[in-house]
Structure 1
Amino acid sequence: MDLVIKNGTIITATDTYKADIAVEDGKIIMIGKNITQTEGAKLVDASGKYVLPGAIDAHTHLEMPFGGTTSADSYEAGTRAAACGGVTTVFDFVIQRKGQGLIEAVEGRRTICDPQACVDYSFHTAITDLTPEILEEMKESVEYGVPSFKLFMVYKKEGLMVDDGVLAKALEKSKDIGALIAVHAENPDLIDMRIEKFLSEGKTSAWYHYLSRPEFVEAEANKRAIHWAKAFDAPLYIVHLANKEGLEEVTKARNEGYEIYAETCPQYLHFTNEVYKREDGRNFVCSPPIKGKESQEALWKGILNGSIQTVATDHCPFQSYEKDWGKDDFTKIPNGCMGIENLYPYMLSEANKGRISFNKVVEVCSTNVAKIFGCAPQKGTIAAGSDADIVIYDPNKKFVVSKENMHSDVDHTIWEGIELKGYPVMTFSRGKLVYKDGQFLGTPGHGQFIKCKGRK
């Protein structure tokens, strides 16, 4: 064995117990009481600490061209920050460009990511050009190891949006090949109409970003996407769900027996739309925007009752000077916030405060993600045979988030000044120590591409 973690309290999605863990060649080989350390094995004493599976961030946009620039974190910076927040696997989005094949698009991103990734990674492919050939290639992508596809119901002017006919075709195909369709659900026509109205009235602050796409604009698209998924009896994953009414539709469909999944994000759970009235409100601009208190409370309830299955970040940060492009016109603010390093610490802090259980945090931040996207049991749990992606968490450590103690390349954080109760003190990626006590100890290129399984 290479590593023994002793005396910690292991927390999975279903269990909490005290035991030791033995690791060899990047895999967990044994869990039990009083495991004897073999010669040469590293010993970690986790007394008084929790031992958790690494988080899996199912929604990131690293080095993504958007809004006239590129998201601020490279694959190296983003995965470095992930490691320092206890995230040991990231799913990034590959954007298929017009005329480009699905696997061609993925392999193009892999050439960029492979030498940079500090933790393991996989992809979802955003389909923007669904030709008959691409429809057939979806099956090849499933076999390749990328069985999840995202369709944008917005961003018409940016050339990303698909119409309802394309969405229907993709859903119908996905059922036959074991793929999963994910959607960014907002109504583009309502957004454009409201933007035009606000700009004509000289209403240009960040607050009008929220008002241009409030709760009902997202909810309508949620309902429409769920309607098509039900019509074709195909699974559907709704990314970054932020509103109460849309969540109610998810809950209804799930109660009817349909395979509908919902993801929400930490920024929707902690902040409300009041942030858009702040002087630095443009830093919080993301789409869908952060909603009101009623939606926030509904999202927390959705996590507790199982209507929301995953929490991910939609990590797509831009530098403050880029956010300032929209100081006098909210339509010029690049959409996206940071969060990859804050996901697990924030959710675990809420558990430490008693809002939810630690088991539920592991469930929505790790185990469910691995199951839904086809990388379980390799990822998402602490079990013999699983990858040794392990986080050691000190429930007594006090931590205040600041740009100064984050590890990405972004020059600010929307989490500035947030006090957390407890914090990760060590992160292991496949048995390798990549983070300890505020210091990144990993190396670019350590991360491996994770081939995910389809749904059959």
Structure 2
Amino acid sequence: MDLIIKNGTIITAADTYTADIAVKDGKIHMIAASLDAPEGVEVVDAAGKYVLPGAIDAHTHLEMPFGGTTSADSYEAGTRAAACGGVTTVFDFVIQGKGKGLIESVEARKALCEPQACVDYAFHTAITDLRPEVLEELEKSVEYGVPSFKVFMVYKKEGLMVDDGVLAAALEKARDIGALVSVHAENPDLIDRRIEKFLGEGKTSAWYHYESRPEFVEAEAVKRAIHWAKAFDAPLNIVHLACKEGLDEVTKARDEGYQITAETCPQYLYFNKDVYKREDGRNWVCSPPMKGQDSQDALWEGIKRGDITTVATDHCPFQSYEKDWGKDDFTKIPNGCMGIENLYPYMLSEANKGRISFNKAVEVCSYNVAKLYGCAPEKGTIAAGSDADIVIYDPNMSFVVSKDNMHSDVDYTIWEGVEMTGYPVMTFSRGKLVFKDGEFVGEAGWGQFVKRKGNK
């Protein structure tokens, strides 16, 4: 044995109990009521604390070229921040370039990530050029260990959007090979029309980012995507779902027995559209934008009843001076927010306040993610044989978020001043201590590529 964690309260998606954990060779070797430590074995006393599986952030954009710049966190900075927030596996999106293959695109990003990653990592591939040979390559990608794909129903001018025919073809193929298609659901034609109108009227503040893509712009695309998934009896995942009407469609489809899942983000659960009225509202510009309070309330209810399956961040931050490019024109604001270090602390804080159970927080931030994306049971739980991705959480600790106590390379945080009730105090990645008492203690290059399984 290499490590024993004693006296902690273990919390998984299903159970809460007190026991000791023995770690050997990066795996959870044994769980028992009481374990004696052989000489030379490190012992961590977790009395009075909770012991949780590490979170899995299944939606990030690190070092992503977008909007005339590149997202501010490198693979090293982003995974370092992840470790400090109790996230032990990070999924990043590979954007397929025009004329490029899927595995070719993944391997280029993997080569960039491998020497930098501080925790384990996996990829989804965003399909932008579904040529016949690329459609056939989907199955090879599943075998390679990347069985999840994304299509953008928006960003037409940026060259990322696919039409309904491509979405349908991807859904049919994914159904047959055990892959999963996720969609960014917004209607681009409505967005472009509304942007043109607002700019013509001299309405250029961040508020009009929201007004250009309000609830119905997202809801229509969610309905359309679910319609095609139902038509082809294919699984579908809606990422960064932000509106009540879209969630209602997810609930309806799930009640009818279809394989529809949905992800939401912590920024939608804490902030609402009023942030865009602030003088610095451009810092909250992301797509889809934060919506009204009724949508936020509905998202929390969706988590409680299980219609929102996962919570992830869509971490795609830009520096404040880059956000300032759009202070007089909302269309020039780089699109994205930070959150990779705030995901687990926020959801656990809400559990600590009684809004949801701790088991539910683990479920949507870890267990469901591993199960949905094909990396269970190695990830997502605390059990013998699983990876020793472990977070020790102090429920009595008070923590106020500031850019000064975050660990990414971004020069501000939208979470500035938010108080967390309880906070992670230690993070282990495959048994290695990578975060302790506010400090990153890991190393770049430690993280490993997670080869995942399809659902065939």
Map of 2:403 onto structure 1: 403
1:340 is displaced (CA, Å) by 0.1
Gaps of 5+ in 1: none
Between stretches 32-41 and 232-241, larger displacement belongs to 32-41
1:52 is displaced (CA, Å) by 0.1
Map of 1:159 onto structure 2: 159
1:41-60 matches, cutoff 5 A: 41-60=41-60
Secondary structure at the aligned position of 2:115 is classed as coil
Secondary structure at the aligned position of 1:317 is classed as coil
1:57 is displaced (CA, Å) by 0.2
1:243-262 matches, cutoff 5 A: 243-262=243-262
Map of 2:28 onto structure 1: 28
Map of 1:348 onto structure 2: 348
Map of 1:108 onto structure 2: 108
Map of 2:369 onto structure 1: 369
AA matched with 1:77: A
1:158 is displaced (CA, Å) by 0.3
1:34 is displaced (CA, Å) by 1.1
Cα offsets for 1:3-51 (capped at 9, x unmatched): 0000000000000000000000000010011111122211000000000
Secondary structure at the aligned position of 2:394 is classed as strand
Aligned counterparts of 2:196 and 2:40: Cα–Cα separation in 1: 67
Aligned counterparts of 1:74 and 1:42: Cα–Cα separation in 2: 32
1:2 is displaced (CA, Å) by 0.1
Q: Does 1:142 align with 2:124?
A: no
Aligned counterparts of 2:424 and 2:446: Cα–Cα separation in 1: 20
Map of 1:386 onto structure 2: 386
Secondary structure at the aligned position of 2:251 is classed as helix
Aligned counterparts of 1:139 and 1:82: Cα–Cα separation in 2: 30
Q: Does 1:91 align with 2:91?
A: yes
Map of 1:301 onto structure 2: 301
Aligned counterparts of 2:167 and 2:58: Cα–Cα separation in 1: 21
Aligned counterparts of 1:278 and 1:100: Cα–Cα separation in 2: 41
Aligned counterparts of 1:381 and 1:38: Cα–Cα separation in 2: 26
1:320 is displaced (CA, Å) by 0.2
AA matched with 2:399: F
Map of 1:455 onto structure 2: 455
Cα offsets for 1:272-320 (capped at 9, x unmatched): 1000000110000000000000000000000000010000000000000
1:118-133 matches, cutoff 5 A: 118-133=118-133
Aligned counterparts of 2:110 and 2:172: Cα–Cα separation in 1: 28
Aligned counterparts of 2:92 and 2:139: Cα–Cα separation in 1: 20
Gaps of 5+ in 2: none
Secondary structure at the aligned position of 2:58 is classed as strand
Runs of at least 4 residues off by over 2 Å:
none
Q: TM-score, normalised by structure 1?
A: 1.00
Aligned counterparts of 1:39 and 1:29: Cα–Cα separation in 2: 17
Map of 1:204 onto structure 2: 204
Secondary structure at the aligned position of 2:367 is classed as helix
Map of 1:78 onto structure 2: 78
Q: Does 1:413 align with 2:413?
A: yes
Aligned counterparts of 1:228 and 1:389: Cα–Cα separation in 2: 37
Secondary structure at the aligned position of 1:250 is classed as helix
Secondary structure at the aligned position of 1:427 is classed as strand
Aligned counterparts of 1:126 and 1:355: Cα–Cα separation in 2: 34
Cα offsets for 1:112-170 (capped at 9, x unmatched): 00000000000000000000000000000000000000000000000000000000000
Aligned counterparts of 1:354 and 1:121: Cα–Cα separation in 2: 31
Q: What RMSD over aligned residues (CA atoms) do the two structures have, in Å?
A: 0.3
Map of 1:38 onto structure 2: 38
Cα offsets for 1:207-235 (capped at 9, x unmatched): 00000000000000000000000000000
AA matched with 1:226: I
Map of 1:228 onto structure 2: 228
Map of 2:434 onto structure 1: 434
1:96 is displaced (CA, Å) by 0.2
How many residues matched? Answer: 456
AA matched with 1:186: E
Aligned counterparts of 1:122 and 1:287: Cα–Cα separation in 2: 23
Map of 1:326 onto structure 2: 326
1:362 is displaced (CA, Å) by 0.2
Map of 1:12 onto structure 2: 12
Aligned counterparts of 1:218 and 1:168: Cα–Cα separation in 2: 19
Map of 1:117 onto structure 2: 117
Aligned counterparts of 1:319 and 1:397: Cα–Cα separation in 2: 30
Map of 1:315 onto structure 2: 315
Map of 2:67 onto structure 1: 67
Secondary structure at the aligned position of 1:107 is classed as helix
Aligned counterparts of 2:38 and 2:315: Cα–Cα separation in 1: 41
Map of 1:214 onto structure 2: 214
Give me the identity figure in percent: 82
Aligned counterparts of 1:193 and 1:46: Cα–Cα separation in 2: 56
1:97 is displaced (CA, Å) by 0.3
